[in-house]
C-alpha cells in the first residue's frame, strides 16, 4: 500500500518594530524580565489598545511578498482564553477578516496572514513536568506580552518533511528580505506548527490530521514531520484509526508524544474587538509599500540564473544569503567571469566566512581584491592551486593578489627554458613510464604533468607543461 | 461671612463666587467636604474622599492664581482610574487597587483646574440601575432616603442633588447617567459614542460605555462636556466633538422639528411619568417646536439585544480579574483554587450573572443565535434612528418608565430591573447622545425627560434642554434638604 502525506503549516513571525503591537513599550528581546511593561500590556483596568501602524505595515510587506490579496478592510477580534501568559484573558487577533488574504508562495497556497499579539513567557517550576498543573509556581515575563505577531497559514499543499523544510527556508529568507522580522528560531521570532495527515495515494479525501507544535529548527521540523508520517502510515497500515491530537516532537529520541487530544479543544468565543477600529489600507499606501520592497529571494534566484548562467542549486543558495549574493554580483561584475566568481564565492570565500564568522562585506577579502586574484588566474600568472594559497594569505595581509603571489613565490613558471629543464628532469627520472607512454598509454600525460607541477612547487602553468611534454614525448 | 452653603450651588455659580473673591478655593472645597461629612454617612454617595489632596490642590490654585472654572470641585465615579487613589468600580475584586495612571477624563478635569473631592458610589462594574449592586452598600436618594438613586452612577447623581458636589462625572452604558439623573432630579448627558475618551475608565461593555456629566442645570452640563470631550489618541474609538461645545442660551424651540416615537411608550409607563411627559411635549409645542409622532420599529428589541451584547463584552472585559496581579486575592492551596475563590468572593451576584450570560452567548454553537443576532438587531435599531433623524432634529421619550423605586423592589427580579432602562439603552446601541432633564414631580419625586439626537448633535440637545429648563423652572433641591433634613 502506498501512502501520501498532506501537510499544512501555521507560521508565527514576530515583527520587527520599535514598540509593541498595542502599547508603546519597547519590543526588544533579551531585556531583564518585566522591564518592558506598562498598564496596557499588563491589562490594568480601563486600559485600551492602540494598533501599531508600523506593525501593520510590516505585516503588509510580508503579505505583499507572499502574493497575498490585501482586502480593503480587515478587523480585530478577541480570542478569549484564560492562562497566566494572557493578562487580559483574551488575545487581540484577527478571526474572519485578516489583514492578508489568499496568496501563493513557491507554488504553495497561502490561506491567510493575520496580525495578533504575542503572549507573555511563562515557566512553570517545582514539579508538574513544566506544565501549570502540579507545578509549585509559575513565573511570568511580560516583556514578550504584546509583541506584534504575524500568523501565516498555508493550505495543505506540502507533501513531505523535506518539502516543508525547503518551503520554510525560502519563506524565512523572503520575510527577512522584507525587513519585517529577523525570523530567528532560537529567539522564537519564528515558530512553526505543522498539520500532518496521511491518506491512501490517489485518494481525494483528507485523512485525520495531527498538529505538531513549536519545533525549534528546520531540521527538526523536517524530521518531526517525517516521523509523524511514518507513525500515521503505520497506524493506517495496521487498520487502526488516527486520532486527532496535538503532538510534541522530541528530536533526541525522534519520537512524538501527545500534548492533548481533540476532546480538550478550546472554545475561544471570538467576537469583534470593540476597542479598535478596522484597518483600511489605501491602495496608494499598498502601492508605496510594494514599490519599496527590495528584490525578493525568489526573484533574485531567477535573475542569478538568467543573468549569470548559474546552476539552480547555486542560484538558490546565493539567493537565500543576500549578503553573499550581493558580494557575488559585485565580484562577478569586477572579474567579468560569473562562473569563476561563483566558484570562489561558494568555495574558498564561504569557507573563510564560516571559519571567521564574518559578514561577506566585512571580510578583508573585498570583491576588488578577489577580482584581482581571479584575473591573475585567468592570465595564467598563478595556478588555481597557488591561487588558493594566495587567497588564504589575503585574509590577513592587505597586499594585493599580485604582490602576494610574488612574495609567496607562487608566480607561475611560464618561460619555456626553465620549464623545459624541469620536464627533462622528470622524463629522465621515469624511463619506464616514458616507454609505456610511447607504447600507447597516453593517459600517462597526467602522471608526467603532476610530477612536473610537484617539481616546480606548483608554480608551473599546467597548459605550458602539457604542451612541452607532448613536444618532448613526440606526440 | 456666614458659612457657605453648597446646596443648590451650580458650578458656574461657584466659579462666580471664586471670581468675586467671596470665597477662596480652599474655603469652597472645605464647604463641600463639610457637607459630605455632615450628610454622606446616611446618603453614601462617596466611596472615599481624599481631603488632603483636595485641599492641597485648592491651596495651590489660591496661591498660583485662578480664573474661569478653575478651583471648582467635582466628584468622580469610582469607575475612573485615579493615579495612586484606590479605584474599585464598586467591586470587592478591585479592593485596594491603586491605578498607576489617571483616566483621560480625570486628566482633563485636572487640566481644567477642577478639584476632585473623591470617588463616587456605583453599581459594581456599572452593572445595575439602582446602585444596590455596589459591593460597598447602596447610595440613598436625596429626595427620599427609602428610595434608590438610580444607577449605575447613583453616587454621582445623589452627590450633585444633595449639594455634595456642584457637578460630577459618571458613565452611561445603557442609561447609567440619564436614569439616575432623572431619579435625583438633576441633568445628565450621555454623549455620542466616541466623543469622550474611555482611556482609564474601567470597562463594562466597551462598544456602549461613554463618560458624561451630571449637573444641576444644562449650562453646567455643557461646560463640563466642553472639558471632557477631547481627542485622545489613547482611545482608538475616540474622535472628540466635531465642533466646540456652545454654552446654551436658547429660550425657545422655534424652527425645531421634534418627534415622539410613540410605539416605544407601549412598553408601559407609570401614569404620573406619562402625564408629565405629555405635558412637557406640549410645552415643546408652546415653545415653538413642531412636534410629530414617529416610530422606531426595532427599538423594542433593544432590551433583548442589549442584554446579550453588554454581558458578552463584559465577560471578556472582566476575565482579567483573577487575583494574580492586582486587587483582591483570596489565598488557596493552588492557583486554580486561588482564581475561583478570589472570584467567588470578589464578584457580586449581578456581575456573576452577566459573566455567565455573556460567556454563554459567545459560545460555539450559540454565537449566531445570540450575539450574532443581537448585533443584527443593533444594526436595525441604528437604521431606525437614522431614518427618524432624516425628518426630525431630535426625539423625545421619558428617561425611565417610573420614578425612583424603593430599595429591594427590583433587586431580586433582574428582568424588572433591566426593564427600567427600556427608553435609554436603544440610544447606547445606536451610539447616540441623550440628555435627561427634570420635567416635574410625580408624587413628590422627580421625573426625567429625555431628548435624543443624531450623533454629535450635543449642542442642539443642550439648546433644547436649556430652553425647556427655563420654561419648566424645576427646582433641583429636594424639599427635605431645604427643610434641613439631609
Select the residue of B100, B313, B335 nearest A44 (Cβ to Cβ): B100
Mean pLDDT to the nearest integer, B252-272:
95
CB-CB neighbors (< 8 A) of B359 in chain A: 269
Contact B188, B212 (CB under 8 A): yes
* Contact criterion met (CB < 8 Å) for A45 and B362: no
Domain B11-254+453-482: CATH class, spelled out = alpha beta
Q: What is the mean pLDDT of chain B?
A: 97
| Residue A15: half-sphere exposure toward Cβ, Cα within 13 Å | 33
Give A126's DSSP letter: S
Q: Which residues contact A263 (CB under 8 A, 6 or more apart)?
A: none
Q: What's the rounded Cα separation, in Å, for the pair A133 and A261?
A: 17
Counting beta carbons within 10 angstroms of the beta carbon of residue A284, is it exposed (0 to 12), middle (13 to 18) or buried (19 or more)?
exposed
> Hunting for cell 432616603 — which residue is that?
B145
CB proximity B285 to A under 8 Å: no
Give residue A413's pLDDT: 61
CB-CB neighbors (< 8 A) of B311 in chain A: none
Q: List beta partners, residue A260.
A: A246
pLDDT tens readout for residues B337-347? 999 999 999 99
A45 CA: distance to closest CA in chain B (Å): 5
A206 CA: distance to closest CA in chain B (Å): 24
Alpha-carbon torsion (A153, A157, A161, A163), positive or negative: negative
* Contact criterion met (CB < 8 Å) for B103 and A82: no
Contact B411, B132 (CB under 8 A): yes
CB proximity B203 to A under 8 Å: yes
Mean pLDDT to the nearest integer, B361-374:
94
Mean pLDDT to the nearest integer, B465-478:
97
Residue A75: closest CA among A287, A286, A288, A274: A274
B398 CA: distance to closest CA in chain A (Å): 29
Give residue B407's pLDDT: 97
Give residue B3's pLDDT: 76
C-alpha cell at B364: 460555539
Give residue A71's pLDDT: 98
CB proximity B452 to A under 8 Å: no
pLDDT tens readout for residues B118-153? 999 999 999 999 999 999 999 999 999 999 999 999
Q: Which residue of A has its CA nearest to B125?
A: A45
pLDDT tens readout for residues A392-445? 999 999 888 888 888 887 776 656 677 888 888 889 898 898 989 888 888 888
Dmax (CA) of chain A: 99
Q: Which of B24, B81, B130, B152 is catalytic?
A: B152
Catalytic residue status for B387: no
CB-CB neighbors (< 8 A) of B201 in chain A: 46
* Contact criterion met (CB < 8 Å) for A277 and B322: no
Q: Which residues contact B120 (CB under 8 A, 6 or more apart)?
A: B45, B46, B47, B75, B76, B77, B78, B153, B155, B156, B159, B168, B170
> pLDDT 10s digit of each residue in chain A, 475 long?
689 999 999 999 999 999 999 999 999 999 999 999 999 999 999 999 999 999 999 999 999 999 999 999 999 999 999 999 999 999 999 999 999 999 999 999 999 999 999 999 998 888 767 777 777 888 999 999 999 999 999 999 999 999 999 999 999 999 999 999 999 999 999 999 999 999 999 999 999 999 998 788 999 999 999 999 999 999 999 999 999 999 999 988 999 998 888 766 679 999 999 999 999 999 999 999 999 999 999 999 999 999 999 999 999 999 999 899 999 999 999 999 999 999 999 999 999 999 988 899 999 999 999 999 999 888 878 878 888 989 999 999 988 888 888 888 777 665 667 788 888 888 989 889 898 988 888 888 889 988 888 888 777 777 788 888 888 887 5
CB-CB neighbors (< 8 A) of A78 in chain B: 316
CB-CB neighbors (< 8 A) of A49 in chain B: 236
Catalytic residue status for B226: no
CB proximity A42 to B under 8 Å: yes
* Contact criterion met (CB < 8 Å) for A50 and B313: no
Give residue A424's pLDDT: 87
CB-CB neighbors (< 8 A) of A270 in chain B: 362
Give residue B485's pLDDT: 85
Contact A279, A73 (CB under 8 A): yes
CB proximity B371 to A under 8 Å: yes
Give residue B445's pLDDT: 98
Query: Interface pTM (ipTM) of the complex?
Result: 0.96
* Contact criterion met (CB < 8 Å) for B326 and A44: yes
Give residue A36's pLDDT: 98
CB proximity B237 to A under 8 Å: yes
Catalytic residue status for B153: no
- What does each C-alpha distance from A109 to A99, A106, A154, A191, A199 come to in angstroms? 16, 8, 6, 19, 20
CB proximity A243 to B under 8 Å: no
Please count the residues of chain B: 486
> Is omega for the bond preceding B56 within 30 degrees of 0, making it cis?
no
> Is omega for the bond preceding A427 within 30 degrees of 0, making it cis?
no
CB-CB neighbors (< 8 A) of A43 in chain B: 320, 325
Q: What's the rounded Cα separation, in Å, for the pair B476 and A336?
A: 94
Q: What's the rounded Cα separation, in Å, for the pair A344 and A374?
A: 9
* Contact criterion met (CB < 8 Å) for A274 and B101: no
* Contact criterion met (CB < 8 Å) for A45 and B99: yes
CB proximity B323 to A under 8 Å: no
CB-CB neighbors (< 8 A) of A48 in chain B: 198-199, 234-236
Q: What's the rounded Cα separation, in Å, for the pair B37 and B348?
A: 28
* Contact criterion met (CB < 8 Å) for B319 and A43: no
CB proximity B81 to A under 8 Å: yes
Q: Which of B24, B77, B81, B312 is catalytic?
A: B77
In this predicted structure, the answer to whether residue B418 has a pLDDT above a threshold of 60 is: yes
Q: What's the rounded Cα separation, in Å, for the pair B358 and B125?
A: 15
Q: What's the rounded Cα separation, in Å, for the pair A155 and A9?
A: 8
Quote the distance between the C-alpha of residue A378 and its chain's center: 34
C-alpha cell at A352: 573563510
CB proximity A51 to B under 8 Å: yes
Q: What share of chain B is helix, strand, coil (3-state, %, to 5)?
A: 40, 15, 45
- What does each C-alpha distance from B307 to A10, A234, B411, B421 come to in angstroms? 37, 53, 17, 11
- What does each C-alpha distance from A417 to A430, A465, A475 come to in angstroms? 20, 11, 20
CB-CB neighbors (< 8 A) of B312 in chain A: 271
Q: Which of B81, B130, B176, B226 is catalytic?
A: B176
Burial string for A413-428 (b: 16+ CB within 10 Å, else e) reads beeeeebeebbeebbe
CB proximity B373 to A under 8 Å: no
CB-CB neighbors (< 8 A) of B374 in chain A: none
Q: What's the rounded Cα separation, in Å, for the pair B426 and B297?
A: 12
Domain locations in chain B as residue ranges: 11-254+453-482
C-alpha cell at B389: 433623524
Select the residue of B101, B198, B316 nearest A90 (Cβ to Cβ): B316
Select the residue of A39, A82, A274 nearest B206 (Cβ to Cβ): A274
* Contact criterion met (CB < 8 Å) for A48 and B101: no
A197 CA: distance to closest CA in chain B (Å): 25
CB-CB neighbors (< 8 A) of A51 in chain B: 236
Select the residue of B206, B325, B359 nearest A269 (Cβ to Cβ): B359
Q: Which of B105, B320, B347, B351 to mutate to test the interface with A (most CBs of A within 10 A)?
A: B320
CB-CB neighbors (< 8 A) of A39 in chain B: 99-101
Select the residue of A46, A271, A274 nearest B201 (Cβ to Cβ): A46
Alpha-carbon torsion (A128, A131, A134, A140), positive or negative: positive
Map residue B465 onto helix, strand or coil. Answer: helix
Give residue A263's pLDDT: 63
Q: Which of A39, A45, A81, A85 to mutate to test the interface with B (most CBs of B within 10 A)?
A: A45
Map residue B448 onto helix, strand or coil. Answer: strand
* Contact criterion met (CB < 8 Å) for B237 and A276: yes
Select the residue of B198, B324, B362 nearest A48 (Cβ to Cβ): B198
| Residue B322: half-sphere exposure toward Cβ, Cα within 13 Å | 22
* Contact criterion met (CB < 8 Å) for B322 and A138: no
CB pairs under 8 A between A and B: 98
Residue A229: closest CA among A247, A202, A214, A216: A247
Of A298-302, A428-432, B200-204, B434-438, the poorest mean pLDDT is in A428-432
Contact A460, A419 (CB under 8 A): yes
Q: Where would I find the H helices in A140-296?
A: 161-178, 218-237, 283-291
* Contact criterion met (CB < 8 Å) for B206 and A275: yes
Dmax (CA) of chain B: 70
Query: Which domains are delineated in chain A?
Result: 3-288 (no CATH), 295-407 (no CATH), 416-473 (1.10.10.410)
CB proximity B93 to A under 8 Å: no
In this predicted structure, the answer to whether residue B1 has a pLDDT above a threshold of 80 is: no
CB proximity A128 to B under 8 Å: no
Amino acid at each position: 500500500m502506498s501512502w501520501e502525506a498532506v501537510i499544512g503549516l501555521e507560521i508565527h513571525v514576530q515583527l520587527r518594530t520599535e514598540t509593541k503591537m498595542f502599547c508603546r513599550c519597547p519590543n526588544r528581546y533579551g531585556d531583564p524580565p518585566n522591564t518592558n511593561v506598562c498598564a496596557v500590556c499588563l491589562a490594568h483596568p480601563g486600559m485600551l489598545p492602540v494598533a501599531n501602524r508600523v506593525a501593520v505595515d510590516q505585516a503588509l510587506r510580508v503579505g505583499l511578498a507572499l502574493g497575498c490579496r490585501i482586502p480593503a478592510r480587515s478587523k480585530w477580534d478577541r480570542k478569549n482564553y484564560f492562562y497566566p501568559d494572557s493578562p487580559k484573558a483574551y488575545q487581540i487577533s484577527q478571526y474572519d477578516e485578516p489583514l492578508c488574504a489568499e496568496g501563493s508562495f513557491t507554488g504553495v497556497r497561502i490561506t491567510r496572514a493575520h496580525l495578533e499579539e504575542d503572549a507573555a513567557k511563562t515557566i512553570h517550576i517545582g514539579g508538574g513536568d513544566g506544565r501549570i498543573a502540579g507545578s509549585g509556581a509559575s513565573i511570568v515575563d511580560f516583556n514578550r506580552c504584546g509583541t506584534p505577531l504575524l500568523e501565516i497559514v498555508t493550505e495543505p499543499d506540502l507533501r513531505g518533511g523535506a518539502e516543508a523544510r525547503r518551503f520554510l527556508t525560502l519563506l524565512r529568507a523572503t520575510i527577512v528580505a522584507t525587513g519585517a522580522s529577523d525570523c530567528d528560531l532560537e529567539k522564537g521570532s519564528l515558530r512553526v506548527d505543522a498539520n500532518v495527515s496521511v491518506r491512501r495515494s490517489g485518494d481525494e479525501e483528507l485523512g485525520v490530521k495531527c498538529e505538531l507544535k513549536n519545533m525549534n529548527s528546520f531540521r527538526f521540523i523536517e524530521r518531526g514531520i517525517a516521523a509523524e508520517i511514518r507513525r500515521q502510515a503505520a497506524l493506517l497500515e495496521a487498520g487502526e484509526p488516527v486520532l486527532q491530537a496535538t503532538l510534541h516532537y522530541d528530536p533526541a529520541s525522534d519520537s512524538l508524544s501527545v500534548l492533548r487530544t481533540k476532546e480538550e479543544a478550546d472554545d475561544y468565543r471570538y467576537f469583534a474587538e470593540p476597542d479598535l477600529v478596522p484597518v483600511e489600507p489605501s491602495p496608494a499606501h499598498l502601492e508605496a509599500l510594494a514599490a519599496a520592497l527590495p528584490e525578493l529571494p525568489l526573484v533574485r534566484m531567477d535573475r542569478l540564473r538568467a543573468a549569470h548562467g548559474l546552476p539552480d542549486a547555486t542560484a538558490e543558495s546565493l539567493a537565500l544569503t543576500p549578503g553573499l549574493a550581493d558580494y557575488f554580483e559585485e565580484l562577478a561584475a569586477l572579474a567579468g567571469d560569473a562562473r569563476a566568481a561563483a566558484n570562489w564565492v561558494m568555495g574558498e570565500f564561504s569557507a573563510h566566512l564560516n571559519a571567521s564568522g564574518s559578514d561577506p562585506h566585512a571580510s578583508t577579502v573585498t570583491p576588488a581584491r578577489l577580482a584581482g586574484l581571479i584575473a591573475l588566474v585567468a592570465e595564467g600568472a598563478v595556478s588555481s592551486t597557488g591561487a588558493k594559497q594566495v587567497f588564504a594569505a589575503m585574509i590577513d595581509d592587505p597586499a594585493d593578489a599580485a604582490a602576494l603571489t610574488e612574495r609567496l613565490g607562487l608566480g607561475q613558471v611560464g618561460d619555456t627554458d626553465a620549464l623545459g629543464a624541469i620536464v627533462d628532469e622528470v622524463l629522465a627520472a621515469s624511463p619506464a613510464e616514458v616507454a609505456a607512454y610511447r607504447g600507447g598509454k597516453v593517459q600517462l600525460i597526467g602522471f608526467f604533468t603532476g610530477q612536473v607541477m610537484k617539481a616546480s612547487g606548483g608554480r608551473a602553468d599546467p597548459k605550458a607543461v602539457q604542451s612541452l611534454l607532448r613536444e618532448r614525448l613526440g606526440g | 461671612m456666614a458659612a457657605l452653603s453648597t446646596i443648590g450651588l451650580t458650578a458656574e455659580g461657584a466659579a462666580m463666587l471664586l471670581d468675586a473673591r467671596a470665597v477662596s478655593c480652599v474655603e469652597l472645597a472645605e464647604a463641600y467636604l463639610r457637607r459630605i461629612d455632615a450628610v454622606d454617612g446616611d446618603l453614601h454617595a462617596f466611596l472615599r474622599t481624599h481631603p488632603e489632596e483636595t485641599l492641597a490642590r485648592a491651596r495651590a490654585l489660591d496661591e498660583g492664581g485662578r480664573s474661569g472654572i478653575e478651583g471648582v470641585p467635582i466628584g468622580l465615579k469610582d469607575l475612573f482610574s485615579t493615579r495612586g487613589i484606590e479605584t474599585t468600580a464598586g467591586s470587592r475584586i478591585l479592593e485596594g487597587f491603586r491605578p498607576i495612571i489617571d483616566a483621560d477624563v480625570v486628566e482633563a478635569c485636572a487640566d481644567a483646574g477642577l478639584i476632585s473631592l473623591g470617588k463616587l458610589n456605583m453599581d459594581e462594574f456599572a452593572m445595575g440601575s439602582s446602585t444596590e449592586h455596589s459591593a460597598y452598600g447602596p447610595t440613598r436618594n436625596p429626595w427620599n432616603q427609602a428610595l434608590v438613586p438610580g444607577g449605575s452612577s447613583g453616587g454621582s447623581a445623589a452627590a450633585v442633588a444633595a449639594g455634595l458636589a456642584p457637578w460630577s462625572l459618571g458613565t452611561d452604558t445603557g442609561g447609567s447617567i440619564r436614569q439616575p439623573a432623572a431619579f435625583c432630579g438633576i441633568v445628565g448627558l450621555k454623549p455620542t459614542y466616541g466623543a469622550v475618551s474611555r482611556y482609564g475608565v474601567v470597562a463594562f461593555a466597551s462598544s456602549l460605555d461613554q463618560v458624561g456629566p451630571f449637573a444641576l442645570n444644562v449650562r453646567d452640563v455643557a461646560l463640563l462636556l466642553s472639558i471632557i470631550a477631547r481627542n485622545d489618541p489613547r482611545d482608538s474609538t475616540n474622535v472628540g466633538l466635531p465642533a466646540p461645545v456652545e454654552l446654551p442660551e436658547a429660550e425657545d424651540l422655534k424652527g425645531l422639528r421634534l418627534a415622539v416615537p410613540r410605539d416605544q411608550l407601549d412598553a408601559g409607563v407609570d401614569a404620573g411619568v406619562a402625564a408629565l411627559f405629555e405635558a412637557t411635549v406640549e410645552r415643546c409645542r408652546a415653545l415653538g417646536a413642531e412636534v410629530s409622532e414617529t416610530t422606531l420599529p426595532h427599538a423594542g428589541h433593544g432590551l433583548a439585544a442589549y442584554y446579550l451584547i453588554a454581558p458578552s463584552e463584559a465577560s471578556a472585559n472582566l476575565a482579567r480579574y483573577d487575583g494574580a496581579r492586582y486587587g483582591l486575592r483570596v489565598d488557596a492551596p493552588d492557583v486554580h483554587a486561588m482564581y475561583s475563590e478570589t472570584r467567588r468572593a470578589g464578584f457580586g451576584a449581578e456581575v456573576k450573572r452577566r459573566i455567565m450570560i455573556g460567556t454563554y452567548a459567545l459560545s460555539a454553537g450559540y454565537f449566531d443565535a445570540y450575539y450574532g443576532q443581537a448585533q443584527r438587531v443593533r444594526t436595525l435599531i441604528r437604521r431606525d434612528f437614522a431614518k427618524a433623524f432624516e425628518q426630525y432634529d431630535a426625539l423625545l421619550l421619558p428617561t425611565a418608565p417610573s420614578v425612583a423605586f424603593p430599595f429591594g423592589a427590583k433587586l431580586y427580579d433582574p428582568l424588572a430591573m433591566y426593564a427600567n432602562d427600556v427608553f435609554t439603552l436603544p440610544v447606547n446601541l445606536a451610539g447616540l447622545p441623550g440628555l435627561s432633564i427634570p420635567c416635574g414631580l410625580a408624587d413628590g419625586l422627580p421625573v426625567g425627560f429625555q431628548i435624543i439626537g443624531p450623533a454629535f448633535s450635543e449642542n442642539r440637545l443642550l439648546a433644547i434642554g436649556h430652553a425647556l429648563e427655563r420654561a419648566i423652572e424645576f427646582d433641583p433641591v429636594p424639599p427635605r434638604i431645604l427643610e434641613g433634613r439631609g
